[in-house]
Amino acid sequence: MARIDHLRAAAPGFRTREIVLATTLLDTTKYPDEALVALYRRRWAVELCFRDIKTTLGLDVLRCQSPDLIEKEIMLFCA
């Protein structure tokens, strides 16, 4: 089961964007729309960091799955 929300994401200095968010966080009391927007914004920042690291190091794909192994894979490319 999934919850699909049409949300407006606003950030100071940026245009307000409408996003469609699908999530398995079904409890609207525990996870109101504002909380989902905040989680989305934090996750997007992490994805941008991964993109920057991969571009800088020339990595097309990070092959490892666990956080520990991803860290080791990145360190190998930095050496």
Q: What is the mean pLDDT of residues 20-48?
A: 91
Residue 55, number of CB atoms within 10 A of its CB: 10
Q: How many domains does the chain have?
A: 1
Q: What is the pTM of this model?
A: 0.62
pLDDT tier, 24 (very low <50, low <70, confident <90, very high otherwise): very high
Quote the CA–CA distance of 69 and 40 in Å, as a whole number: 25
Quote the CA–CA distance of 34 and 7 in Å, as a whole number: 9
Decide if 18 contacts 8 (C-beta within 8 A).
yes
Residue 64, number of CB atoms within 10 A of its CB: 13
Residue range(s) defining the domain that contains residue 65: 3-78
